[in-house]
Amino acid sequence: MRRIVLAAAVAFFLGGFAQQAHAERQPRMRDAVVHLEKALSALQNASPDKGGHRVKAIALTEQALGEVREGIKHDNRN
């Protein structure tokens, strides 16, 4: 699960930069935020008995959201 979340975040993150000539709108990065927020909600609402993996996945998804948001900010400043 951890690798899937990280791979998805990286794919969206890199895809957004590769496809965008202008930073103002960043539709792929914003799509990534939406998808990660949905994933986070699903994880938070899942049953808790997952041997700690659900908790790790939540933390990693929150980290991925932060990184995507920071990437958007960075690209908008530069």
User: What distance in Å separates the CA atoms of residue 69 and residue 5, rounded to the nearest whole number?
Assistant: 16
pLDDT digits (tens, 9 = 90+) for 24-74: 579 999 999 999 999 999 999 999 989 999 999 999 999 999 999 999 999
- Please write down the long-range contacts of 24-27, taking CB distance under 8 Å and 24 or more positions apart: 24/76, 26/72, 26/75, 26/76
Residue 76: pLDDT band with limits 50, 70, 90: confident
Per this entry, what is the length of the chain?
A: 78
Cβ contacts of residue 65 below 8 Å, gap of 6+? Answer: 33, 36, 37, 40
**What pLDDT is attached to residue 50?**
94
Residue 23: pLDDT band with limits 50, 70, 90: very low
pTM of the complete model: 0.67
